[in-house]
Amino acid sequence: MASFGYVITAMVTPMDRQLAVDYDRAAALAKRLVDSGSDGLVVCGTTGESPTLTDEEKVRLFRTVREAVGGRAKVIAGTGTYNTAHSIHLTREAERAGCDGVLLVNPYYNKPSQEGLYQHFKAVAESTQLPVMLYNIQSRTSVNCEPATIARLAEIRNIVAVKEASGSLDQMSQIRKLTPPEFHLYSGDDSLTLPLLAVGGTGIVSVAGHLAGREIKAMIQAFQAGDVRQALGLHLRLWPLFKVLFITTNPTPVKAALALAGFDVGGLRLPLVEATAKEREQIAAVLKDLALLPVAA
């Protein structure tokens, strides 16, 4: 089964002044991201404020983004929840909406065992024909899907990738060692994309792709072409952006950055809040250094 691409941007969800989903702006953002280097888009992931979106909003976003980008990029629906039956329902809706795959996060809060994780992901994968990307992020879910469990899951026909956000290159290396070459390993942290490539990774599920998709793709392509020096140069140039986009809870900084860069996507639903004046100042300084602010700013 084909890869989802190299640069997959985890899309924010644009909101209007009343914090209703702005579907027109979502379509415009999707086109903008594909035009600027994204091979794929995750819709309604954590960066898209999935915990505060209704099922109806999610399904409409799936359809909106699918229609906006056509066949130019993969559309990957965030359908994972801590409820297996609910995850199956959303996954089937994503398939009906024409998505190219689904992203399934570790069930959060209820802390399943490794066997529970395996059975959850297996049940959701078996409910769909779509390819599945696992999303392993212990910092948000309280559980780590261990390499041995990921290797078991990789034996299931349509579980084809993992977004690995443990922050551990040791764990990433172990996953790469235990899984077949055709199983794709994506970084869940922009700052670890280049190191992950060195241990057999495919690419990145990115937040910084909202602002620097072309350069991130150029970094990956340079590494694949054997030009490690160029790849390192791009990594170090983008490093401040990678870090400043996580000075507070994602997606607060990236929404602020997009507004500063001239593409306002609105505010955030509680319990998330907008960036402080100090945080916006830090973000603006990095964007200015990278020439990402509008010319008149």
Catalytic residues: 135, 163
Q: How many CB atoms lie within 10 A of CB 290?
A: 16
For residue 50 the two structure tokens come to: 């999935």
The DSSP line for 146-201 is -HHHHHHHTTSTTEEEEEE-S--HHHHHHHHHHS-TTSEEEESSGGGHHHHHHTT-
Whole-angstrom distance, CA of residue 280 vs CA of residue 277:
5
Whole-angstrom distance, CA of residue 227 vs CA of residue 219:
9
For residue 177 the two structure tokens come to: 């060692």
For residue 2 the two structure tokens come to: 């084909």
